[in-house]
Amino acid sequence: MIDIQINGQTYQVLEGASIIEAADEHGIYIPRFCYHKKLSVAANCRMCLVEVANMKKPMPACSTPVSPDMVIFTQSEKALEAQRSVMEFLLINHPLDCPVCDQGGACELQDLSIGFGCSESDFGGDKRAVDKLELGPLLQTYMTRCIQCTRCIRFSRELGGLSELGMIDRGGGEKVSTYVERDLQSELSGNMIDVCPVGALTAKPSRFAGRSWEYVEHEGVAAHDCLGSNMYWHSSQHDNVETREVMRVVPKENESINECWISDRDRFSFEGLTHESRLLSPMVKHNGTWKEASWEAALSECADKLGSLIDSNGGDCLGVLAGPQTTMEEGFLLQKLTRALGSKHIDSRLREQDFSDQACRLPSPRLGCQIADLDSLDTLFFFGCDVRTQHPVLTTRINPSIEEGLSVCAMNPMDYAYTFPLTEQVVAGPSALLQQLAALVALVAKEKGESAVISAEKPSAQTQAIAKRLLNSEKIALLMGEHALASTHASAFRSLLSQLATLVGASFGELPYGANTVGLQYVGCVPHRQADGMALAEPGLDIVGMMEQPRRAYVLCQLEPESDVLQAAKTLKTLDEAALVICLTAFESDAMRQYADIMLPVAPPSETSGQFMNIEGSIQSFQAVTVPHGDARPAWKVLRVLANFLKLDHFEYRSLEAVRNDLSVVCESEDSVCELPILKTLPSLKENELIRLAPWPMVRSDALVRRASSLQKTLRAEQVSALVNAAVASTHGLSDGSQVKARQGDSEIEITLRVDDRIPDQCVMIPSGLSISAGFGSAEQAVTLEKSNA
Amino acid sequence: MLNEVCYRVMPKDISSWDDETLSKEKTWTLEAYRAVGGYQVWEKIIREKTPPMDIIAQLKQSVLRGRGGAGFPTGLKWSFMPPQLPGKGEKYVLCNSDESEPGTCKDRFILSNNPHQLLEGMLIACYAMGAKVGYNLMRGEFWLPFNRCEEALREATEAGYVGANILGSDVSIALHNAATLGAYICGEETALMNALEGKRPNPRFKPPFPANFGLWGQPTTINNTETIASVPVILQRGADWFAGAGTEKSGGTKIFCVSGHVNKPGNYEIALGTPFSELLEMAGGMRNGAKLKAVIPGGSSMPVIPGDVMMKTNLDYEGVMQSGSMLGSGGMIIMDESTCMVAVARRLSRFYMHESCGQCTPCREGSGWVYRLMCAIEEGRAEMSDIDRLRRVAKQIEGRTICVFGEAIAWPVEGFLKHFRHEFEACIKQGPRTVKR
Ligand SMILES: Cc1cc2nc3c(=O)[nH]c(=O)nc-3n(C[C@H](O)[C@H](O)[C@H](O)COP(=O)(O)O)c2cc1C
Ligand code: SF4
Ligand code: FES
């Protein structure tokens, strides 16, 4: 710490800080445009000029380091004069179109021009006009308004990791450009809208819908991945709660989670809230025809049908599934209701299919370290994880850390298009991946002088390189991603990874899909533990078991099985054959009209209050922003009243707080931790099959984003096609662009094939969650391909 | 004293400086350079393992100042390079051969006609500062100079002066020629580094300074071609000889690029401190016996000086400063009575508008504003108040930018307005073309 003087006051500041950092730290505002605390310093706008004693020229506060006893004036005549002249220069070519600019009212240039600008212009000429840049469905540009601060460029390069924007031309003609016109590919592109200090980059989906000052800001938690990014919902019409609507979403700073970034999915999914397929009133199906019903009627029908099925078959005939936007309170009530009805069959692990080690796993998944720890690692090892599309915000920590020396290794089922370079990578189909992981563990064990825990094949050169890297790093995190979790070998992966973590002294964690997958497991929405985390001696059926041993009745809370589960075909078939399917859902679909018997409209995240637990184990609560659309109700209320209709005891909750109280009492008991079983032999592996990789594209991950129209337009051809490498294509006699039939059992779809050498042998990638793949087959299992006759 | 340093390989008689003489003599070959004593200094340094500090001390003593424009003492600059620390990676020496300042055409002459001396200078610079790699970065348009430098580098490598284990010693220095894609701003030292790194050649903000964080983030020293090419002769003939040639604060000789309304425009390497009038005489005097009106003494970024003042000015850093301008790169633009100062100012401001890299606001926006005001004035569309506006805008650019390009826009404007305001007023009052051409 050193002493400096700002405007006559002495302050203690960090040595090595810039003047602007030091001033910000003490709440002294220095005007700025190009400076952004999360981006590299560019020092190009010159708005932050301040006077420094003994310096002839005014100094840029953002790029001038403080020195002991420095004397700084931020408001002296010299400083103000410099700031005013910069403002004048900025305004001579800036259009005076604030009244029609979407940024109006939230514009850094507008704000500062009130402080530093003149009301009259001394500039007589014509202003510069710049062509629009076409950046795709999410960003609308008005490049005439650009003030060349390069924040967007720096974001895209440093945090987005893609360098999608740069400057072309020079002098007054300098402009931001993609060089070759093309849409942005980043999953984080919306953040450029936020960093842009003016209205040059605006949000296509939400622009012109209203003015910032008309909006009310509501704190929220992003509902699409397990990070729990903090955000604000902006709503309109604050004086009338009934007609309030969500107008846009912006990030809320949380240094330990999302810093100041959110993914495009978190930002633009709100468009789905008003989708025409919103279920607006309870619906019941009689003899194949759907009719609207009152809540009273619908719930009593639920209670009657469910009650009588249970009466005659026992509680065991009920299976319950919860989707990851179900809040902790809702999950708590759901499992309580299930268990009160005498069923043990509840699950929320929609995208897993190997539960053989569930008794030994943590009560709910964890990252193994804090999110912020990713900033200071030596080595990060991803196993089966497309972090870029599944947890985009994490890459804002990884991309800049590469510069600081972070090395990232990965073993993946395909060469994911990461936004950061990989030091080492193994790409292999699921079986070979297991072989190589085992080989890695064996090799590391040998190097560490431990007796061989597993006999494995010979490690590949890349596996050896990964071993070397892990053995030579201090701070290591191992992360098991959504692909590995979804695999039929998941428990073997988990066992090997945890052995590896112990051997190299790394943290080990998981990155499951969904906003509250963690919280739902925590509150007992799993068949093997109750709400307090206690293991059940006799677990109920998991999601796979529930489909293999069909139940007579199902309750589905906030999921669309056709697009949300791994074994879609089998699930749909089982549901079709069940006597009763009750869906608590915000949206309806054609498939749902098929298998469901009663549809109860529940509130999506912005219309309900509740809590999500993120992958660090932090519980974050949020309040409803608007009233539910139509007759929809928060799911917790629906569950509570349903329980009343079913005449169950202990469901007299008057408020959400009451539920929360109950939940916290139950959850207080310690997480029971146990050791994962040590895998000694590899499960037998089938060769020569074509395995289906089935990732969910970012914008197809849940019912809400699937209905967000602008995000849908970002889907690229390769995200809606079947991908195989050239070798697989030729052995199957297929070529790029041909139509193929993919078949799993009696489930089949037609899809365009593309040849893509990022896919390993023995694999075909057929994305999940698409409308064409809805209800198709099973993920991560064998599939056959043949040329379509059509 | 004429052409004894950077142009020592060339004929002394300036009148015979035409392409034909030069190509007959092939001054750029190793053979020609050796004939004037070339590479003797380098051989001696290698042989005697001269301590680097001695070389730097001699340079300080020679009072050699940077010839790229700012006139910074070279010995002092070299002493800023941090000592080689283990594990700290490379250090670099850069030669700034981007020469793009209007009025300046001296470096291309060294590059094409005396490239070996530049190479020898770079080797000595690398040796003195402990750099193992040196780059000579030329502007993209330098086709002939580039080829000559490449050829010279090949010859010098074959002769064992450059490369690994130079002349059998344990000294290894790699030199490279490189070219920018041609923009004035590439000559700014940090822009040059970005250009060499393959980036957009935007100047970098300072601190950090190149001596600590230069090319690829490593300690780097950058000097002008003429500065570096002077070094071998200084060491050969002694620091005192060099210092003695010039004045107390401006040691040695300097090349002046005389252009404009003179009879014999060209490069003249003369002792610093020589009266301008003598240089004018060497250049054959004013064309058609016309009267000298004004001189831009140091390349187009320096303020203009009226002819009568200039005739009393001695050509050294202090002398030109006293007359209200700067010696800069030594580009002397000589203008006679027929010159319209408004037109000159307008044309120069167009250059600066066109060459601004565009990153910082005052330069990007101000350069265009200055040009527009200049046009309005020249074309008789302006009002009197525009003159003050012009001065104000120029003042608002100066001292607020990342690199001194901002000054390069502002200083000429200030110079023209200071000495020739009446011509600007006349344009406004009486319309364009007040001055007969
Ligand atoms: C806009 C601009 C252009 C410049 N162009 C050149 C150039 O073409 N050649 C050059 O040697 N120095 C040029 N300079 C000066 C260099 O930045 C630097 O000061 C010089 O190369 C240092 O060498 P010296 O110490 O030997 O003079 C330029 C500076 C600026 C601001
Ligand atoms: S002063 Fe001009 S040329 Fe220099 S960095 Fe700024 S914009 Fe670029
Ligand atoms: S904020 Fe310092 S120059 Fe832009």
Which ligand has an atom closest to residue B227 CA? 1
**What are A375's two structure tokens?**
């900033």
If we measure between CA atoms, which residue out of A173, A130, A127 comes closest to residue B356? A173
> Hey, how many other C-beta atoms are within 10 angstroms of the C-beta on A577?
11
User: Which residues sit with their C-beta closer than 6 Å to ligand 3?
Assistant: A 32-35, 43-48, 60-62
Q: Which residues of A touch B (CB under 8 A)?
A: 41-47, 49, 56-58, 60, 63-65, 82, 85-86, 88-90, 92-93, 122-125, 147-148, 150, 166-167, 169-174
Q: Which of B350, B341, B355 shows the shortest CA–CA distance to B370?
A: B350
Who has greater pLDDT, B114 or A120? B114
User: A2-90 maps to which CATH number?
Assistant: 3.10.20.740
- Ligand 2 pocket member B402 (CB < 6 A): yes
Q: How far is B383 from chain A (nearest CA, A)?
A: 11
Q: Is B70 in the pocket of ligand 1 (CB under 6 A)?
A: yes
Render pLDDT for B49-103 as a digit per residue (tens, 0 to 9). Answer: 999 999 999 999 999 999 999 999 999 999 999 887 766 789 999 999 999 999 9
Tell me whether residues A86 and B207 touch, CB distance under 8 A: no
Cβ–Cβ under 8 Å, residues A697 and A715:
yes
Select from B186, B355, B361 the residue whose CB has the most chain A CBs within 10 Å, as the one to mutate to test that interface.
B361
Q: Which atom of ligand 3 is nearest to the CA of A35?
A: 1
Within 8 A of B362 by CB-CB distance, chain A residues are 46, 85-86, 89
A46 to B360: CB separation less than 8 angstroms, yes or no: yes
In this predicted model, what pLDDT tens digit does every residue of A22-44 receive, in sequence order? 999 999 999 999 999 999 999 99
| pLDDT at residue B12, as a whole number | 75
**Which candidate from B200, B353, B399 shows the least CB-CB separation from A171?**
B353
Q: Which residues are bridge partners to B175 per DSSP?
A: B134
**Would you call A425 helix, strand, or coil by DSSP?**
strand
DSSP state of A166: E
Contact at CB, B400 and A58, closer than 8 angstroms: yes
**Stretch 184-243 of chain B: residues touching chain A, C-beta under 8 Å:** 185, 200, 205, 207
Where residue A671 falls among pLDDT bands split at 50, 70, 90?
low
A79 to chain B: closest CA residue: B400
B200 vs A contacts (CB less than 8 Å):
166-167
In this predicted structure, what is the pLDDT of residue B437? 43
Q: How far is B176 from chain A (nearest CA, A)?
A: 28
- pLDDT > 90? residue A586: yes
Q: Are strands A691-693 and A763-765 parallel, antiparallel or unpaired?
A: parallel
The answer to whether the Cβ–Cβ distance between A167 and B358 falls below 8 Å is yes
- Tell whether ipTM is more than 0.85: yes
Alpha-carbon dihedral B232, B234, B239, B240, rounded to 10 degrees:
150
**Chain B residues lying within 8 Å of A89, measured CB to CB:** 361-362, 364-366, 369, 396
> Which among A44, A49, A64 is the nearest to B359, CB-wise?
A44
**Token reading at A703:** 């019912």
H-assigned helices in A622-733: 635-645, 656-667, 703-706, 709-712, 726-731
pLDDT for residue A431: 85
Closest listed ligand to the CA of B317: 1
Closest residue by Cα to atom 8, ligand 2, is: B357
The closest-lying atom of ligand 1 relative to the alpha carbon of residue B404 is 31
- Which residue(s) pair with B135 in the sheet? B94, B176
In angstroms, the separation between the Cα of residue B396 and the nearest Cα of chain A is 6
State which residue of chain A sits closest to B383, comparing Cα positions.
A124
Average the pLDDT over each of A257-261, A368-372, B179-183 and give the range with the smallest value.
B179-183
Atom of ligand 3 nearest to the CA of A45: 4
Give the ligand 2 atom nearest the CA of B367: 2
What is A283-353+517-526+539-666's CATH number?
Answer: 3.40.50.740
Residue A381: helix, strand or coil by DSSP? strand
Mean pLDDT computed over A179-201: 96
Q: Tokens for B44?
A: 């001696």
- Is B362's CB within 8 Å of A56's CB? no
Structure tokens at B225: 């071609």
Confidence (pLDDT) at A668: 60
What digits encode the pLDDT tens for the residues A47-66? 999 999 999 999 999 999 99
Residue type, B64: L
* Alpha-carbon distance B13 to nearest alpha carbon in chain A (angstroms): 43
CB distance from B387 to chain A under 8 Å? no
Say if the Cβ atoms of A86 and B400 lie within 8 Å. Answer: yes
**Where in chain A are the domains?**
2-90, 212-274, 283-353+517-526+539-666, 371-510, 691-787
* 3 state SS of B107: helix
Q: Percent of chain A beyond pLDDT 90? A: 87
C-alpha B17 to ligand 2 mean position (Å): 38
User: Could you give the 3-state DSSP secondary structure of residue A408?
Assistant: strand
A12, A52 Cβ separation under 8 angstroms: no
Q: State the average pLDDT over residues A772-787.
A: 92
Q: Check pLDDT > 70 for residue A669.
A: no
Please give the Cα distance from B349 to B15 (Å, whole number): 34
Neighbours of A678 (CB within 10 A): 12
The one-letter amino acid code at B432 reads: P
Give the residue whose CA is nearest to atom 4 of ligand 2: B403
- Provide CATH code, domain A691-787: 2.40.40.20
Grouping H, G, I as helix, E, B as strand and the rest as coil, residue A247 is strand
Q: pTM to 2 decimals?
A: 0.95
**B359 neighbourhood in chain A, CB within 8 Å:** 42, 44, 148, 150, 167, 174
Interface with A, mutate which of B185, B351, B364 (most A CBs under 10 A):
B364
B359 C-beta closer than 6 A to ligand 2: yes
**pLDDT tens sequence for chain B (437 residues):** 788 899 998 877 766 667 777 777 899 999 999 999 999 999 999 999 999 999 999 999 999 999 999 999 999 999 999 887 766 789 999 999 999 999 999 999 999 999 999 999 999 999 999 999 999 999 999 999 999 999 999 999 999 999 999 999 999 999 999 998 879 999 999 999 999 999 999 999 999 999 999 999 999 999 999 999 999 999 999 999 999 999 988 989 999 999 999 999 999 999 999 999 999 999 999 999 999 999 999 999 999 999 999 999 999 999 999 999 999 999 999 999 999 999 999 999 999 999 999 999 999 999 999 999 999 999 999 999 999 999 999 999 999 999 999 999 999 999 999 999 999 999 999 877 655 44
Buried-state track A42-51, b at ≥16 Cβ within 10 A, e below 16: bbbbbbbbbb
Contact list in A for residue B358 (CB cut-off 8 A) is 148, 167, 169-174
Chain B residues whose CB is inside 8 A of the A122 CB are 389
C-alpha to C-alpha distances, A744 to A650, A687, A773, nearest whole angstrom? 45, 17, 12
Q: Do A65 and B207 touch (CB under 8 A)?
A: yes
Candidate of A46, A57, A59 to mutate for ligand 3, largest count of ligand atoms within 8 Å of Cβ: A46
Structure tokens at A442: 């064996």
Check CB contact under 8 Å for B360 and A44: yes
Residue-wise pLDDT tens digits, A624-657: 999 999 999 999 999 999 999 999 999 999 999 9
Contact B362 A89 (CB under 8 A): yes
pLDDT at position B298 = 93
SS3 per residue for A730-758: HHCCCCCCCEEEEEECCEEEEEEEEECCC
Cβ–Cβ under 8 Å, residues B62 and B239: yes
State whether the beta carbon of B357 lies less than 6 angstroms from ligand 2.
yes
* Rounded-to-integer distance, Cα A696 and Cα A699, Å: 8
pLDDT at position A674, please?
64
| Whether residue B185 has its Cβ less than 6 Å from ligand 1 | yes
Superfamily of domain A371-510: Dimethylsulfoxide Reductase, domain 2 (3.40.228.10)
- Whether the CB of B350 is below 8 Å from some CB of chain A: the reply is no
Both tokens of residue A708? 């967000």
> Given pLDDT bands bounded at 50, 70 and 90, which one contains residue A524?
very high
Each residue of A464-510: pLDDT tens digit? 999 999 999 999 999 999 999 999 999 999 999 999 999 999 999 99
Predicted confidence at residue A122, as pLDDT, reads: 85
Q: pLDDT tens, B284-307? A: 999 999 999 999 999 999 999 999
- Selecting from B183, B356, B372 the residue whose C-beta is nearest the C-beta of A125 gives B372
How many angstroms is it from A683 CA to the middle of ligand 2?
Answer: 64
Is B368 at the interface with chain A, CB within 8 A?
Answer: yes
Q: What is the pLDDT of residue B104?
A: 96
Whose alpha carbon is nearest atom 12 of ligand 1? B68
Q: Among partner residues B353, B356, B402, which is closest to A43 by beta-carbon distance?
A: B402
**Token pair belonging to A406:** 């972070």
Could you tell me the distance, in angstroms and rounded to a whole number, from the CA of residue B203 to the centre of ligand 1? 11
